[in-house]
Structure 1
Amino acid sequence: MRLNQRIRYYIYRSISVLVALAIVASSFAIDRTASALNPPSNQVQHNRIANSPNICPSNLNSVLDPIVNAPTFDKGQWGVLVQSLATGQTLYEHNADLSLIPASNIKLLTTAAAVQNVPNLPPIDLEEWLRSISLVNRDSNNRQANRLLSRMGGVQAIKTVIAPLGVNPDTYFQVDGSGLSRSNRAEATTFVNLLRGMSNLPGNKIFYDSLSIAGTNGTLSNRLTDPFLLGRVHAKTGTLKGVRTLSGYLDNPNYGKMVFSMMVNQSGLSGKVMTNAIDDMVLELARVKNCG
């Protein structure tokens, strides 16, 4: 009797092991099928761009309008401006003069003014000053941003310094250096004009190098990693609840450098949804080419 029980036990155990192995094998098969049907999002984007024709600047509206006008953003507000850096031609705009919460993009105003103060610094202060600018832009260090604003003499001093760059003081309202205050306001034109103005200054390299680089460092280290964008975007991110912004430069090898500002404000919407929409627009800009 005990022998029969022991035999039945081993038979049952063997069957259980075989069933478990079958389930595991089936699970791996399902995972492989799912991976084939749903490859990583970056790869999907890369394949989509690689297999799609480039687009002319005149066609950008048909590509970017569906993103900003998507039902997801029915309750939100967008401010977008994209220009050729070389010619100043507007390639795309959507409510570019709408005043929105810019979050950490406000840091661009302070750092642009701080860069222009570099020639006036004694050598002993220069290294610390440059490090501060880099921390504010690349790593979006809020404490350092407010400290830099204070050392520059406050918001009125910033306004005075950046006005000659072509930044209309009526297009923004700055209350801090960090951008944490929701009382800050700016238009997409504010940042595009600032970035264009900075590109013509002798100290532009300091400013340009202080920005985060797509897929490489700072707040963009894990964003815009598609091969079409990797290392080709230098920009400042902005993040608050219900707010996402990105302003900077895109080096498009088939068109030339672009300068852009993208801001979206929508209370209650997932930050990831807003960030993905902005990144999708930048990726589309990488497809632009000169059409003759």
Structure 2
Amino acid sequence: MRWWLLFASLWPALAQAALPASLQDALAKAQLPLESVAIVVQPVEGGPPLISHHASKAMNPASVMKLVTTYAALEALTPAYRWKTEVYRNGPLNQGVLEGDLIIKGAGDPALNVAEFWRLLQQIQQQGVRQIKGNLLLDLTLYAPEVSQRPVLDDEPWRAYNANPSALLLNGRNTSFRFSVSSQANKPAVLIAQEFELPNIHIINTMQARKGACNDWRSDLHYSVTPQTDGVTVAFSGTLPEQCDERYLELSVLSDTQYVYATFKKLWAQLGGQFNGQLALAPVTDAAIPLTTWSSPPLDSVVRDINKWSNNIMARQVMLTIAQDAGFTPADEAGAALALKQVLRQRGLVFYELVLENGSGLSRNERISAEHLAQLLVTAYQRPVMPVFMASLPILGMDGTTKKRLADSTSKGMAYLKTGSLEGVSSLAGYVQDQAGKRYVLVIVANHARASAVRAVQDLLLKQLIEGY
């Protein structure tokens, strides 16, 4: 008899299904106290859990909190929801010349990238605007100003994962720096370039190539960011192994308005347009004349990007959209938390210990219990949004943040799982299918200084569930 079937048969005599001895041994080997870990294994069709260890304890789930946010968004907004970025003018348009300002009203689109922005500007020109004699005005009033405050959870505040939301978020405000080693006059040199180059990002490169393999390429790469009136200077120092081909570092070094303004000027000129104006913030007035509207990809596509790659800023934008849809104007994270909890409550999910700060898990304050994460996953499995929600999760050993996990075992492809990690936090939650076709919800959360060591325990439990040993 499989060990979990044994636990299920013993459930009436147990107040809480005990941890199998193999997991207790694995936790001891990882030097993780039993009280620092919460585990739930639950059949998706309901019934008693096979394992319920510290299930009711409020824990920091790190990025696994994105499951709560994305499920609530799919229920509240529907998978077909699209964000609408609107463009207006506030002056007459004569023979291609706008005698006034161009206005872009942010809608909180979490997926607006440079390619789509280029197409939006092309649409504007197709409406007859070739020269703008006024300024570029941005309407960012959809979000409350405090949502742009930068949280500092580590010693790298400029990393892209620490970027804050904006009503007009372009490219995630992400600058991808590409590093490579090139031989110049038989002397290897480190080359640094921006993937999408903006002229107001200035690079200082004092890096040198070094001997060695590329697996530790970040170990001696250092950078500093110095904001300036005309942009920002990013200085890179240290070394890069010669065996590296290309490596990337994503930073968010410009404000949301700086990024939009610099990108607008570059793309507008590339499209043959003329513009010499300044940037200003102003709400759209009743006198403004609509020009065009850009529709985002549907929410189901956005949710997939969030969960497959654990995109923090996209998750935060989605949570704020739940607030905006519920009538919180301007939207802020406190209102978003209230709106999200109401969505869950309407589906019978009342989690009194749930603490939501920004919905991405990029927080030291967010909390939820393992049993309630499991309850949410079981509920989602029974809902019409299940196919979209489940497909958004990384597939074990195949893609997303679990691409390299158990990729060489028979467990590959047998689980859809969201990962989460912060310093002192490691979590895993999702759906697991055994070789007989039976499906379970699995939740493991560790809060401890050695939390990263729980990965071995997670992998062991996955293999036990899937492969039956």
The more displaced of 232-241 and 220-229 is: 220-229
Quick one: distance in 2 between partners of 1:239 and 1:231? 22
Residue 462 of structure 2 corresponds to 282
Where in structure 2 are the equivalents of 1:32-71 lying within 5 Å?
Answer: 54-58=2-6, 61-70=20-29
Q: CA offsets, 1:22-80, max 9 Å, x none?
A: xxxxxxxxxxxxxxxxxxxxxxxxxxxxxxx9544225623333334556113860011
Q: 1:222 to 1:176 in 2, by over 3 A?
A: same
Distance 2:361 2:384 in 1: 27
Aligned residue for 1:4? none
User: What's 1:92 paired with?
Assistant: 51
The aligned counterpart of 1:200 is 382
In structure 2, what is the equivalent of residue 42 of structure 1? none
Q: Post-superposition, which runs of at least 4 consecutive aligned residues in structure 1 deviate over 6 A?
A: none
- Amino acid across the alignment from 1:147: Q
- Counterpart code for 1:193: Q
- 2:98 matched to 1:139? no
Q: Deviations over 1:91-135 (max 9, x none)?
A: 111101111111001111110011112167369857332221111
Structure 2: gaps of 5 or more residues: 8-18, 85-294, 324-335
Counterpart AA for 2:320: S
Deviation at 1:183?
A: 0.3
Q: TM-score, normalised by structure 2?
A: 0.47
Structure number with higher strand proportion:
2
2 CA distance for matches of 1:164 and 1:65?
A: 38
1:224 Cα offset (Å):
2.8
What is the TM-score of this pair, normalised by structure 1?
0.73
Structure with more helix by fraction: 1
Q: 1:215 to 1:71 in 2, by over 3 A?
A: closer
Q: Tell me the C-alpha RMSD between the 2 structures.
A: 2.4
How far apart are the structure 2 equivalents of 1:203 and 1:137?
Answer: 15
Counterparts of 2:379 and 2:20, CA distance in 1 = 26
Q: Distance in 2 between matches of 1:164 and 1:216?
A: 35
CA offset digits 1:236-265 (Å, max 9, x no partner) = 100101110000000112260000110001
Question: What code does the residue aligned with 2:366 have?
Answer: N
CA contact under 8 A between 1:137 and 1:211: conserved in structure 2?
yes
After superposition, what is the alpha-carbon deviation per residue over 1:7-27, rounded to whole angstroms, capped at 9, x for unaligned?
Answer: xxxxxxxxxxxxxxxxxxxxx
What SS does the corresponding residue of 2:441 show, helix, strand or coil?
strand
Q: Among residues 108, 114, 121, which one is paired with 2:67 in the alignment? A: 108
Per the alignment, in what secondary structure is the counterpart of residue 65 of structure 1? helix
- Classify the secondary structure of the residue corresponding to 2:20: helix
Note if contact 2:39-2:444 (Cα within 8 Å) is conserved in structure 1: yes
Aligned to 2:297: 127
Contact 1:76–1:264 at 8 Å: present in 2 too?
no
Is contact 1:75-1:266 (8 Å) kept? no
Q: Residue 171 of structure 1 contacts residue 189 of structure 1 at CA under 8 Å; is this kept in 2?
A: no
Q: Is the alpha carbon distance of 1:127 and 1:71 closer, same or farther for their aligned partners in structure 2, counting shifts above 3 Å?
A: closer
Find the residue that maps to 1:212 and give its secondary structure.
coil
**1:170 matched residue in structure 2:** 352
* Displacement of 1:235: 1.1
Aligned to 2:227: none
